[in-house]
Amino acid sequence: MKRAKRLPRVIVYNAVSVDGRFDWLTPDIGQFYSLTPTWKEDVTLVGSNTMLVAAASESPEDEEALKPPKRDPRDKRPVVVVVDTRGRVRNWHTLRKAGYWREVAALCSRATPQEYRDYLKKRHIDCIVAGKDRIDPRAALAKLSERYGAKTVRIDSGGTLNGVFLRAGLVDEVSLLVHPNLVIDLKLAYVEQLKNSLVWMRYKVVR
């Protein structure tokens, strides 16, 4: 009997306020991304909503977007994979030019419109299909391992995508960059790790 391949390690990494919120928070982006080399990820997994917010301020694609990308087998940068079952993301050219990733790919389901798959193919963007109506997270990880040799996947997204992988029991680590905000600004005064993985944090209110 053939032994099943080990799935990639999954890291959920978010910037949050003291009360665990990130919907209204303005995070320290520089500090946030300065810590990502910690995990040496092979794949950065991003939700489509995150990409759509970024796309609002980007320029439209040009003819360069239709040319096959130049790939270097020695390139050790991660692959960015965007979950987009409904075919909404259209700013792939920007992701390619960003310089953070060696390759871009879309994670779709069998319900993803054929028009969108054709759109991706025309732009030489890998389309990974995992799941019938929605993404099957376990199947997605298996395909990322098979196609890209992924051993570590970092989820860079919001609560929806995080929740999918957490509920499926596929997350190995949750990492939080806690900002000193709770409607008002705070200043960290004391932190102590207690038993049972409890952490005691005391903040002074900034007036």
For residue 43, the 8-state DSSP code is E
Domain annotation covers residue 123: yes
Q: What phi, psi does 64 have (nearest 5°)?
A: -60, -30
Residues 187-192, mean pLDDT to the nearest whole number: 95
For 11-63, the pLDDT digits (tens) are 999 999 999 888 788 889 999 999 999 999 999 999 998 888 766 666 777 88
Is residue 42 one of the residues assigned to a domain?
Answer: yes
Range of the domain at 115: 9-20+27-55+75-182
CA distance 129 to 150: 16
User: Could you give the percent of the chain with pLDDT greater than 90?
Assistant: 70
- Tallying the residues shown for the chain, one arrives at 207
Q: What is the pLDDT of residue 1?
A: 38
Q: How many domains does the chain have?
A: 1
Report yes or no on 178 lying in a domain: yes
Residue 142 placed within a domain:
yes
What pLDDT shows up at residue 168?
Answer: 96
CB atoms within 10 A of CB 90: 18
Instruction: Confirm whether 202 is domain-assigned.
Output: no
CB-based contact 49:185 (threshold 8 Å): no
Mean pLDDT confidence for 121-136:
95
Task: Report residue 169 as tokens.
Answer: 């029991």
pLDDT value, residue 56: 60
For residue 150, what is the domain's CATH number? 3.40.430.10
